[in-house]
Amino acid sequence: MRIRFSAILVAGLLILAAAGLASLRVPALAWRTRTLALKVAGRMPDLSWSDMFRLIRPGSGVWPENLPDVGNPHWAVTAPASSSDDLTAGERLFAERCAGCHASGGEGGTLDSGVFRYGTSDWALFRHLRFGIDELPAHDVRLEPEQAWQVIAYLRSRIAEGNPYTGADEGDTDALAVPPVTSASLTGAEAAGAQWLSHAGSVDGRRHSSLDRITPANVGRLRLQWMRQLPLTAPGMLTPLVVGDTMFVSLPDGTTFALDATSGRPLWSSGAKGTVPERALSVDGAGTGGPAVLDFSLFVPTIDGQLYALDTRTGKTRWHVRVADPADGYTIVAAPLVAGEAVVVGVAGTDRGVRGYLDAYAADDGRRLWRFYTVPGPGEPGHDTWGEGSTWRRGGGVTPVIGSYDPSTGLLFWGVGAPSPPLQGSGRPGDNLYTSSIVAIEASTGRLRWHYQLNPHDERDWGATFVPVLGDGGAGTERPVVYAAARNGFFYVIDRETGRMLRATPFARQTWNRGFDETGRPLEIEGRRPTPGGTLVYPGHAGAAGAASPAFDPALRQFLVLTNDGYGSILYKSERPDWPDGAVWGGRAGRVAGTPVRRELLAIDVDTGEIRWRTDFPGTMYTGPGRGGVLSTAGGVIFAADKERLMAVDSSSGVPLWHFDAGGAIDAAPVSYLGGGLQYVAVVADRTLLAFALDE
């Protein structure tokens, strides 16, 4: 009998194990399995077993898929009931069961403040309405689950009505007078002039403002005009947008603010829509780049893989989709890009062994238009560059930096990250397309038009994670081109129509390349790839440039970029692809002891590839690369931001003219806009949004 029981127990455990393994491939099962595992490990003490099964069972109406990441139901669980019928039912139930104490003048208060003695979260309210409160017998209402969620939805609607930052319904006189943004206005001077309508000002990636009120002669009078604290958990890689007189800024969890662009006064706010996974912060940073805008819709990404469309006038949600699942290792750390009537968004997560892709969604209703996988599957062109194994399934090639768009051809241009594992290529023989490449994709179909691979079979984690900047001419041609300052230390000019590399010139110290063949393929110097004993290479694995947004001045025909000259790494290859915490690296990168990194602002002549001038960024001796970015203006002043300093230099000479020490890390590039007759320059430093203008 004992033997039979043991056999049954072993069989049951095997079945559960098999189910657990299968669930990892199905997102709907994956988060439930992880939740059960965390409960068994004792890491969810606030959640009873009965409560847990009530939440995660199919058909519960609740979808707390973030619960395994945060481990706290008070954070992860939100009321699922929100329709007009739910609100009506909740109002009726409140009148019948709750108003005796909580109506106007009742002993329990009106509840409109949103602050409750026994817990403010939706989960706390659910438990109170479902099971009562022991200390308060009068609260023993014990509603059914659906009824409890309906009452909570009604309470939330009452709280929102009393929130001065919440926008009014469409058509209400209190709705903001924000003008609509057309696709045509997202390119050229209109996009980056009086307004700042895209992450790079315009969708061509140039970060060049047509405003000229700030000049070398008066920039010394630039003063801080207003500042706004942001509820960030870490310094943010955030770029605000300005539409009309309204500034929009969104945080990694989707919290979004509409501010008066001339004073910073809040106009409306939209609460958190996602959670911030701890591992995403440690690798990808606290940022999603910021929002995008088209018509009356503001497209807000969250770092846990969601995309929301909010009404610019009210902050109310128009639609919502899940782009990626953090349980599978994905995050979103870049702003979306509007391409025609589509909203295109990339994903991050190479260190967690994901397969990269780009998604496009219809701007009007959020339906997915296409998905382009950067690592081709069986039967697709390029799949044969991954060998015969299955490493392509988790081959990396993420898209964590925003791309650019050419409306005249309908093409998207996007930089693709390194393959995975990034420092160990023995398990992925071949060039590993389309990793470490620039790809040109038809915005209407998602079809690949061309690619150029900067580093075939990349084993240095360089990738091509930078903003491709669109220009005209260079390298002996007048054709439309793409400019790119790559992490591998070369400045590229690429034919925009064919993908042919026209010129590549080094802009930082490099020890890996001895030239290019007639197809543009790099000719590598032997012995510059990772080894078990370590190999010294310049630039280091984080690159000579990359994350910091560049700029392009079309009048002076110069490309502007923050660089890390003298930055090298000792690259070690490991036979074990992953680290104990699950990160997939295939090795590690060690710093070169005693070697400082010179942070510089460079002006590169796009016609010749030569460096016109270089300016040391104040406090330039660092041990690693930075973020930040560059803004060019028609007034002859360039603004560069990095580490803790915002500085202005002369566009023609690079001579420093002005600086401001922010006292906190600046991980995003500045923007410029017009408000009340003044030209403003704004940037996020640490957890604070700063806006500057001339002191009149």
Task: Provide the annotated active-site residues.
Answer: 461
Choice among 444-448, 495-499, 505-509, 566-570 with the minimum mean pLDDT:
566-570
The span from the CA of 570 to the CA of 614, in Å, is: 27
- Note the pLDDT tens digit of each residue in 179-201: 999 999 998 777 889 999 999 99
- Domain layout of the chain by residue ranges: 2-74, 84-161, 184-578+593-694
pLDDT bracket for residue 74 (50, 70, 90): low
pLDDT at 63: 56
- Note the pLDDT tens digit of each residue in 243-252: 999 999 999 9
pLDDT at 105: 41
Asked if the model's pLDDT at residue 622 lies above 50, the reply is no
SS3 sequence of 491-507: EEEEECCCCCEEEEEEC
| Domain pair 84-161 / 184-578+593-694, same fold | no
pLDDT at 104: 46
Q: What is the CATH number of domain 184-578+593-694?
A: 2.140.10.10
* Rounded mean pLDDT, 148-174: 57
Asked if the model's pLDDT at residue 1 lies above 70, the reply is no
pLDDT at 549: 94
Burial 140-153 (b: 16+ CB within 10 A, else e): ebebeeebbbbbbb
pLDDT at 314: 95
- Note the pLDDT tens digit of each residue in 644-664: 899 999 999 999 999 999 988
For all residues of the chain together, what is the average pLDDT? 83
Asked if the model's pLDDT at residue 173 lies above 50, the reply is no
The span from the CA of 499 to the CA of 448, in Å, is: 11
Q: Is the dihedral of CA 573, 577, 582, 583 positive or negative?
A: positive
- Select from 1.10.8, 1.10.10, 2.30.29, 1.10.760 the CATH code of 84-161: 1.10.760
pLDDT bracket for residue 163 (50, 70, 90): very low
Choice among 87-91, 397-401, 496-500, 677-681 with the minimum mean pLDDT:
87-91
* Residue with more model confidence, 266 or 591: 266
* Rounded mean pLDDT, 620-642: 80
pLDDT at 287: 62
Asked if the model's pLDDT at residue 508 lies above 90, the reply is yes
pLDDT at 693: 98
pLDDT bracket for residue 151 (50, 70, 90): confident
pLDDT bracket for residue 35 (50, 70, 90): confident
Residue 341: closest CA among 254, 290, 291, 410: 410
Q: Are 324 and 348 in contact (CB under 8 A)?
A: no
Q: What percent of the chain has pLDDT over 70?
A: 78
pLDDT at 115: 46
Report the relative pairing of strands 597-605 and 611-622 from DSSP bridges. antiparallel
H helix and E strand count, the chain: 10, 39
* Rounded mean pLDDT, 301-327: 93
* Residue with more model confidence, 124 or 641: 641
Asked if the model's pLDDT at residue 106 lies above 60, the reply is no
3-state secondary structure of 468: coil
Q: Any residues with CB less than 8 A from the CB of 532 and at least 6 apart, and which?
A: 572, 573, 574, 575
* Residue with more model confidence, 525 or 326: 525
The span from the CA of 690 to the CA of 670, in Å, is: 10
- Note the pLDDT tens digit of each residue in 348-378: 986 778 999 999 999 999 999 999 999 999 9
The span from the CA of 353 to the CA of 359, in Å, is: 19
* Rounded mean pLDDT, 410-422: 95
The residue assigned the tokens 């029981």 is 5
pLDDT at 572: 83
Choice among 231-245, 389-403, 489-503 with the minimum mean pLDDT:
231-245
pLDDT at 73: 66
